[in-house]
Amino acid sequence: MILASIVTLAFFKMKQPLIIGYLFAGMLLGPLSPLWTSLIPEGGEFMGLGQSGILSDVSVLNIFAELGVILLLFVIGIEFPYSKIKSIGKVAIGAGTIGLFLTLGVVFYASSLFGLGFMNSLFLGAALSISSTAIIVKILEDTGKIKKESSILVLGMLIVEDIIAVILIATLESVALAGSVSYASILTIVIVAAALIGGTLTVGTKVVPRLIDRVAATEHKEILLLSVL
């Protein structure tokens, strides 16, 4: 936390997004940080630390990273009413789909020109065509643009990209492992994703509002906070 505070303060003074400061602080503390690989000899220790540094358990890092993204998107979800996101649904679906596959095609073509193989070009195109919802939303929040109409459209496009990304990753995984497209696995992913989205929308619009109203009627702030979380 101390290092994160120092780094983010430095980035704030440089008028850069704080999210970049958080990422940089994580790079410094992470197991692949040059602080550990350069200062500590291979197989050696420094003040009880090996070359993996302070944060050596990657599984624990993944848990904290996922928890941070969940909390960030939860806070952002409070800022955006479902009605506004629904109003730009068609535009977001069209723009998000076209933007993703256009970027994928351009990167794939450029990678092929540089001599990369088919699969390498495809994976690189897929990686660069998918935006990070959490990072973009955090930047919009830091710059004070989070409540603008254009930001709602951007959020809608990001949601569309995330949905397509699940199917795209499943397709690439099946091609990489089996050498061919597994239509069964892709269909399963599509069905599961559709069921999850449909269930989330149903519960979020039909069940949760009534539950929150009942909890709010108790006029107990702690119970309301726990219920929302």
Task: Clarify whether residues 96 and 46 are in a common domain.
Answer: no
Summarised one tens digit per residue, pLDDT across range 1-12 is: 677 788 878 887
How does residue 146 score in pLDDT terms, banded at 50, 70 and 90? Answer: confident
**Does a structural domain hold residue 200?**
yes
CA 79 to chain centre: 18
Q: Is residue 63 part of a domain?
A: no
Q: Is the same domain home to 79 and 174? A: yes
State the Cα angle at 213 between 207 and 219, rounded to 5°: 145
Q: How many domains does the chain have?
A: 3
Q: Are residues 83 and 151 in the same domain?
A: yes
Range of the domain at 229: 182-229
Q: What is the mean pLDDT of residues 187-215?
A: 81
Each residue of 25-52: pLDDT tens digit? 777 776 666 655 555 555 445 444 444 4
What would the mean pLDDT of 121-127 be, rounded to a whole number?
Answer: 84
Q: Where is pLDDT greater, at 215 or 31?
A: 215
Task: For residues 196 and 149, state if they share a domain.
Answer: no
- CB 105, CB 125: distance < 8 Å: yes
Q: What is the DSSP string of 127-149?
A: HHHS--HHHHHHHHHHTT-TTSH
Do 45 and 117 reside in the same domain of the chain? no
104 lies in the same domain as 150: yes
Same structural domain, 163 and 186:
no
